[in-house]
Structure 1
Amino acid sequence: MIRRNFLKFIVSMGLILTLITLMLPCSILAQPPVEEWVTTYNGPGNDSDEAEDIALDKDGNIYVTGYSYGDDTDQDYATIKYDKDGKEIWVKRYNGPGNGTDKAYALALDKDGNIYVTGYSYRADTGSDYTIIKYDNNGNEIWIATYNGPANGEDEAQAMAMDEDGNIYVTGHSDGIGTHRDYATIKCDKDGNLIWVARYNGPANGTDHDCTIALDKDGNVYVAGESEGIGTGADGAIIKYDKDGNEVWVARYNGPANGYDRFRAIAIDKKGNVYVAGESEGVNTGRDVIIIKYDKDGNLIWLARYNGPKNVNDGVSCIVLDKDENIYVTGHVDEKEELGILWDSLTIKYDKDGNLIWVARYNGPENLRDDTCCIAFDQYGNVYVAGASEVSDTDCDYITIKYDKNGNEIWVARYSAPGNTEEEANAIALDKEGNVYVTGGGEKSGSDYATIKYSQIVEITPMECFEVNFVKARDKKGAKRDQIMIIGSLKLAEEAMPFDPEIDVVTVAIDGKQITIPAGSFEEKNIWRLHYYRFKGDVDDVGRVHMHLDFDKCRWWMKIRGKDTSDLVESDGGTVELSIGTNVGEDSFEWTRKCKTRWAGFAKFIEWPPIRCCTIWP
């Protein structure tokens, strides 16, 4: 149910206007989501099947990949496309030439709808190799690209990224000759041709394992993981390569205990600053959560550590940034001194300077082990995490949790697969309508891929909720005037202060003809106070704006259900901008000019979904 709608009313002297507005999904009510559908996949081997990654296309189709036992083929890649209703469109399996273990871990889509999956595949003569497969949108295999390291040993890709030109970057670990296990990062073009290989062997010539990758806007590549140091155990290590695969810098971190330190996730902001998250052994604190910010040259800007109350083992495996460069991480916090027996899900928010904003924890109903391994957020600052919650020694459920921007738990959704299986969610995605998708599975026999769609009851809040499609004008007698075709949008943002002294607007004179609105035309004007919100016009390169109508100068008063709410003096240019906020239902509002009622109207606000229109009429 919509709790509150905020609409902009555009009023013209002698005219009553009808606005048809399209509501876009905003923040969500504190109610459980609706489980729209669950779709499962059991491979031909009728054994364990586990999805590792998920992606959505612009048409609402869902893609998942992972690994699944075949019939006498061991574990194979299994990539599936579902439509928006959860109906299976196609399944593509890949059994490598060695008829052994083949595991896909990452998935990406290009702008043409092609699908790329990566992981590793076993060959009898070269061991396990990086294996990238490209499918078209119909599931036809376009090409397969592999990478075999110099030692013909264990080469296992863990993560993938794609640039705007369709080049694919894959990283993981690869056995070297006399170097044990090294970082190995490769770049392939969109046709599967190998462009470059970059390898990193740490100072101890020991085990170096990278597990995450990210690209910046300039095409630089960042990989991170753990790397054995000389006398320091495993250290966190991040490497920056340029677009041609040349090493730009390496940054290593050895924690205060000189013990186990590992980076598990990377994020990059618009300025090229790099954030890594993972775990680091502390002095008498077990392993702690660690987040480090580096500048684009690899200099350490700040470091934040989080130690749970039991001084045991805490860690995170995912990181995301919002538009304000706040940092969100998720993982687990250990709640019992016996290592790992009792974990709570842990989600933390830091500001861009590394200050702790909030910590949110989730302890499942059985007070056992809860861990979240994937994270996403929506444009309104709500945070979603997913993972596993133990219900017994042999049974785990999916958990999906939503927090608001202040770290308050909004809802928890649990999914229990049929049978006594250990299922966990491994990946999460959100679509533009606020639906949440999770996928995963389990290593235990009988576990299947399970992909779930949750829908949410939407609450309209003052953030990008309305797009004006057209305005029809009628005079006071109800005669229809020329239709006015204006495309625009209204962007609203909540303010902590009672008012904002300035607002960007575009003024449009309504003359009954179609109007071309120049992009980037702004003026400043004061706004009035109502519910403490700022209203900001959003103009793009095709001239979409929100609108204001010319008036004669006058003072107006507004009443809702007979109660005064505010007044507004029109600007020197004769423009006026008026808005109200109201509960669901039908509210009367009245405009008064020089103490004489000019006209009155009614606004009815309709619940969303499924009806997405809200009409204001005379």
Structure 2
Amino acid sequence: MSGYRQKNDITILKYDRDGNVMWIRKHPTNDGNYLIPILSQFDAANNLVIVGNYSIQNYDFVTIKYSPEGKLLWTRIFDQGGTDRANSLYLDESCNILIAGYNYNTLRGGDYMILKYSPEGDTLLLKYINGQNEQAYDEAYSALMDKFGNIYVTGNSENTSSRPDFYTFKLSPSGNIIWQVRYKDPPAPLPWINIAYCISLDSSYNVYVAGITSGNMTGPLVSIKYSQITGVSINPETIILEMQIDNFPNPFNPVTTISYAIPQDGNVKITVYNSLGAKERELVNEYLSAGNYEIQFDGKNLPSGAYYCILESSSRMLTRRILLVK
């Protein structure tokens, strides 16, 4: 359990199953500042991760990690200038920490903010996503990761009419946009607004988004299901921005999942070469429709080392360096 006292510290209490206090920890700030816990989760190792609002001059947030025994493992303050706000906390099976929210500064306006920490508190990814309008108000409210490390985010983003739409997208583990989709209901003139607050993923990788669509913030509630068979996409508003290739995990032993995006229909080939330029495996060689795809590469019969996965289409070629470590 966590809370705050007089707006200048976070207090964490751990109880046993009988309600007896096992330990109490306080995380203070300087006098005059405030620190209020807003999000908390346990990771796979039963460490406690807390995210709280934090303020010195601007509004920022802090991430704190405690061991099951109450030892403070690390603290990270997120201050990028302007206003920084955390709305979502997600921990994956590897104890990586994903935070999504909002960043505002005078140059970009308000943007989606996606932040990923390693279990040790190192920054693995920091990305800002702007919507259709510069200097507009865009805010992420919910985010999660799949077992491949892909990131799914939803929230609201102003459209060209300066009204919020549901704005949902998928990022590769390295932060590239794989697909994005906007939703507004009804497609009516002002003053209608649409705000997505929740995102979920089922075992078949279908994406569910829920929020409100209203002229006065009173409803109705809206739920949307996006199909994701080899990737999301047969939706007229889903946009594949460019050809992309990624893999996760990397390094790997001995299997890695290669994800790739094709912006237009055409012949597609994926080939794996070793560091000497010799061909090791042809994974794909077929005509594909525009969309997102995944395929596994198994290197169990190959020696450790660097390999090069080359994606070719009718108009472009991309190379991804993958590392097999046994």
Normalised to the residue count of structure 1, the TM-score between the two structures is 0.36
Equivalent in the alignment of 2:171: 350
CA 1:283–1:534: 2 relative to 1, 3 Å: closer
Match runs of 1:79-478 below 5 Å: 170-171=1-2, 173-176=3-6, 180-203=7-30, 205-229=32-56, 231=57, 233-255=58-80, 258-310=81-133, 311-335=135-159, 342-365=163-186, 366-367=188-189, 368-390=192-214, 392-393=215-216, 395-405=218-228, 406-408=231-233
Tell me the distance in 2 between the aligned counterparts of 1:221 and 1:199: 14
Tell me the distance in 2 between the aligned counterparts of 1:495 and 1:235: 34
Match runs of 1:545-584 below 5 Å: none
Code of the residue aligned with 2:78 in structure 1: it is: Y
Equivalent in the alignment of 2:239: none
Equivalent in the alignment of 1:614: none
How far apart are 1:319 and its partner, in Å? 1.6
How far apart are 1:223 and its partner, in Å? 0.8
Percent identity over the alignment is: 26
Check conservation: 1:202, 1:228, Cα contact below 8 A. Answer: no
- Deviations 1:379-430, CA, capped at 9 Å, x for gaps: 222110111111x33742110011233443769xxxxxxxxxxxxxxxxxxx
Tell me the distance in 2 between the aligned counterparts of 1:337 and 1:278: 23
How far apart are 1:362 and its partner, in Å? 1.0
Check conservation: 2:60, 2:83, Cα contact below 8 A. Answer: yes
Check conservation: 1:238, 1:252, Cα contact below 8 A. Answer: yes
Code of the residue aligned with 1:402 in structure 2: it is: K
Code of the residue aligned with 1:303 in structure 2: it is: L
Q: Structure 2: where are the runs of 5+ without partners?
A: 237-256, 261-267, 272-284, 289-293, 297-326
How far apart are 1:313 and its partner, in Å? 1.7
Tell me the distance in 2 between the aligned counterparts of 1:286 and 1:337: 16
Check conservation: 2:99, 2:114, Cα contact below 8 A. Answer: yes
- Deviations 1:552-595, CA, capped at 9 Å, x for gaps: xxxxxxxxxxxxxxxxxxxxxxxxxxxxxxxxxxxxxxxxxxxx
Code of the residue aligned with 2:5 in structure 1: it is: D
CA 1:394–1:250: 2 relative to 1, 3 Å: closer
Tell me the distance in 2 between the aligned counterparts of 1:220 and 1:346: 32
Tell me the distance in 1 between the aligned counterparts of 2:65 and 2:226: 33
Tell me the distance in 2 between the aligned counterparts of 1:282 and 1:407: 32
Write 1 or 2 for the structure with the bigger share of strand.
2
How far apart are 1:187 and its partner, in Å? 2.5
Tell me the distance in 2 between the aligned counterparts of 1:272 and 1:215: 9
Check conservation: 2:53, 2:85, Cα contact below 8 A. Answer: yes
CA 1:209–1:335: 2 relative to 1, 3 Å: farther
Partner SS, residue 49 of structure 2 = strand
Count of residues paired in the alignment: 248
Check conservation: 2:8, 2:29, Cα contact below 8 A. Answer: no
Higher relative contact order (CA 8 A, sep 6+): 1
CA 1:408–1:184: 2 relative to 1, 3 Å: farther
Tell me the distance in 2 between the aligned counterparts of 1:204 and 1:337: 44
How far apart are 1:494 and its partner, in Å? 12
Q: Structure 1: where are the runs of 5+ without partners?
A: 1-169, 412-492, 501-528, 536-618
Partner SS, residue 252 of structure 1 = strand
Code of the residue aligned with 1:183 in structure 2: it is: I
Tell me the distance in 2 between the aligned counterparts of 1:309 and 1:364: 17
Check conservation: 2:118, 2:124, Cα contact below 8 A. Answer: yes
Tell me the distance in 2 between the aligned counterparts of 1:373 and 1:294: 22
CA 1:304–1:191: 2 relative to 1, 3 Å: same
Partner SS, residue 219 of structure 2 = strand
How far apart are 1:284 and its partner, in Å? 2.5
Check conservation: 2:98, 2:144, Cα contact below 8 A. Answer: no
Tell me the distance in 2 between the aligned counterparts of 1:287 and 1:345: 15
C-alpha RMSD of matched pairs (Å): 3.5
